[in-house]
Structure 1
Amino acid sequence: MTHETDAMVIAAVDGSEHSLKALEWARAAAVRHGSGLVVAHVLSDSVQLYAARRSSLYDRTEPEEAEDPVSVRIRAHLAERGPLPSEVRYESLEGSVPEALRDIGEGARMLVMGSRGRGGFAALLLGSNSRAVATSAACPVVVVAHEARGAEGADEAARASAGRVVVGLHAAETPDNVLDFAFTEAAARDTTLQVVSAYSIPPSPTMVIDSPFAVIPPEALVGEDENAVPAEREMLRSQTERLAPFRAKYPTVPVEQAAVPGDAAGRLVDTSKSAALVVVGRHHPRRHIRSLMIGSVANAVLQHAHGPVAIVPTLSESVGSAESAGESA
């Protein structure tokens, strides 16, 4: 099946409250970017079996289509919201949830889904379908945390007022398209982009465990900070060099730089309590492009973030996914 979803925002829904929250996030994103919205629902097994039965038996006494209660609910939900994107399209998909969503996501601006759907254990922070799609889709996947996770951090109003986009950066390894996605999101929101990188240093007697990290505006990097450790200064310099072309491309986006000791994952999870969106690359760009594995930082943020997280594949991954799909067809 071919879907024309290039540069559109896709909302994956299943009728659950979690997916309705993701739908609302996707609706607002489509409006911000001036793009269309595709509402995608993978039909339940029973509906798919009914369609297969009717197709095989050619039973003319059966109705042409079985009413999809999820589609009915979603249309009613969107009718109560506003504003709507210029184009809203509904797609009923067949097959397994991960495979159907990976297929429709080819070429999309982003695919948005809830962190947990109808199935699974209530205690799980991340559903199996959300993880499967986030770790293998060819387009960026935004996972919107459900209420149980969001309650641990700031409420929705506080997060919306903060409006900040946060991106995790490894200066030597993070692909350009991850940074480009983050800058694009910050520009669309007319907000600040905070860039977080981690550096390794041996413990110091004066280091305070779990102390807040310093946020450095670009102008402060002109001089030398005598209080900064050498590793921190070097990290900030690397950040500045790597971000230079993106600052030139997006001159209206304010940028804050943050260098943190140790693992960046915990800091990114912490910032997700107040950030509008946290952006991370899916995994190391030199890892096999057909691997479904996800990097440790991306995995930790995806599992524990309190707000929306964008998992962005590298461009080479997207090409590899398309080639792999073509070979298996």
Structure 2
Amino acid sequence: MAGHVLVGADGSESSLEAVSIAAREARERGLGLRIVHAFIWPRMRAAGVAAAAEALRGQADALVVAAVEHARAAEPDLADVEGEVVTGEPLTVLAVRSADADLVVVGSRGLGAFTGLLIGSVAVYLAAHAECPVLVVRGRADADGLVAVAVDASGDAQAAVDAAFAEAERRGTGLLALHVWNTWSAESPDHRPGALTPLVSNISELRKEAGQTLTSALAPGLVAHPHISVERRLLEGRVRPALIEASKEARMIVVGARGRGGFKGLIMGSVSQALLLHADCPVLVVRGGSEHHA
């Protein structure tokens, strides 16, 4: 079922917020919306358990109907809205269904889209395993400002830059391109992951390389979207705190799911995870090489 935004629902306030955001994203992208409630049903055949399972099924069906109505109320112009109750472990179901989706949306407050699972675990799991971009709705409810993107030299980061240009285009705003560098960014002498970096580095050379990384990553997007204004910002310091601080002035921050690049010596996944847990605005996580783009 291609051409749709996917969102999980469990009836909680957080999941209904995610449904509203997913509906808006679907409308803005000209896509359909698929709302899924996943549940592992009792397997025992005892009469009492069977009756309980039937009651749970009725509750699940009612929950999905309510979520569909909520989406239609939030976005009356969105015609293609469907809901489904699926048997299975919720995270696995969403990860598998993401292969046919253009975007997965996850809520952010308290217990997330699935009862009993903290939102951090939901967001981190899907960011690592989904086959399409994942939008985590967190931070300020109505974040404004530019679309920010974390840039390094990895394949995932380039995909994130491409997605960020598309988001800026969709939202009619500019782009804030962020590259964080420090003395640990220097390449190790033998280029081995985890190898010790020289204690003394040429600071001006590191700064120059950081600027080149940013320029190279932005070049394709500037050609494809020449009318989008881009603010380039080189930040010296620790990667995760710098990006979390920058999220306070953005309406969305886009980041690659994983990989190594300009943030050498630091798994990109740890950066994306930090933003999923601490950013002050929604976070869009993009994986390089995916056939789906937000």
TM-score between both structures, scaled by the size of structure 1: 0.69
Instruction: Report the residue type matching 2:58 in the other structure.
Output: A
Distance 1:80 1:282, change over 3 A: same
Instruction: Tell me the CA shift for residue 25 of structure 1.
Output: 1.3
Pairing 1:21–2:14 present: no
Instruction: Tell me the CA shift for residue 32 of structure 1.
Output: 1.2
Q: Which residue of 2 aligns with 1:217?
A: none
Q: Which residue of 1 aligns with 2:193?
A: none
Q: Which residue of 2 aligns with 1:103?
A: 96
Point out 4+ residue stretches in structure 1 off by more than 4 angstroms.
Answer: 172-175
Contact 2:156 2:257 in 1 (8 A): no
Pairing 1:313–2:293 present: no
Distance 2:249 2:24 in 1: 18
Q: 2:160 aligns with which of 159, 167, 178?
A: 178
Pairing 1:156–2:141 present: yes
Q: Which residue of 2 aligns with 1:197?
A: 179
Contact 1:187 1:252 in 2 (8 A): no
Instruction: Tell me the CA shift for residue 22 of structure 1.
Output: 1.3
Instruction: Tell me the CA shift for residue 41 of structure 1.
Output: 1.6
Q: Calculate the aligned-residue CA RMSD, in Å.
A: 3.1
Contact 2:120 2:276 in 1 (8 A): no
Pairing 1:82-101 to 2, within 5 Å after superposition: 82-101=75-94
Pairing 1:304–2:278 present: yes
Which stretch has the larger CA shift, 241-250 or 110-119?
Answer: 110-119
| Deviations, residues 167-194 of structure 1 (Å, cap 9, x unaligned) | 1010355443222211111111111111
SS at match of 2:250: coil
Contact 2:5 2:34 in 1 (8 A): yes
Instruction: Tell me the CA shift for residue 71 of structure 1.
Output: 1.2
Instruction: Report the residue type matching 1:66 in the other structure.
Output: G
| Deviations, residues 70-115 of structure 1 (Å, cap 9, x unaligned) | 1132133224323442311212221101110011110311100113
Pairing 1:237-276 to 2, within 5 Å after superposition: 237-276=212-251
Instruction: Tell me the CA shift for residue 230 of structure 1.
Output: 5.0
| Deviations, residues 35-72 of structure 1 (Å, cap 9, x unaligned) | 111112213x4xx238x869xxx99xx89x73523113
Distance 2:220 2:72 in 1: 42
Pairing 1:66–2:48 present: no
Contact 2:19 2:70 in 1 (8 A): no
Instruction: Tell me the CA shift for residue 34 of structure 1.
Output: 1.2
Identity %: 31
The size of the alignment, in residue pairs, is: 260
SS at match of 1:183: helix
Q: Which residue of 1 aligns with 2:192?
A: none
Distance 1:169 1:77, change over 3 A: same
Q: 2:135 aligns with which of 142, 148, 152?
A: 142
Query: Which ranges of structure 2 fall in alignment gaps of 5 or more residues?
Result: 185-202, 262-266
TM-score between both structures, scaled by the size of structure 2: 0.77
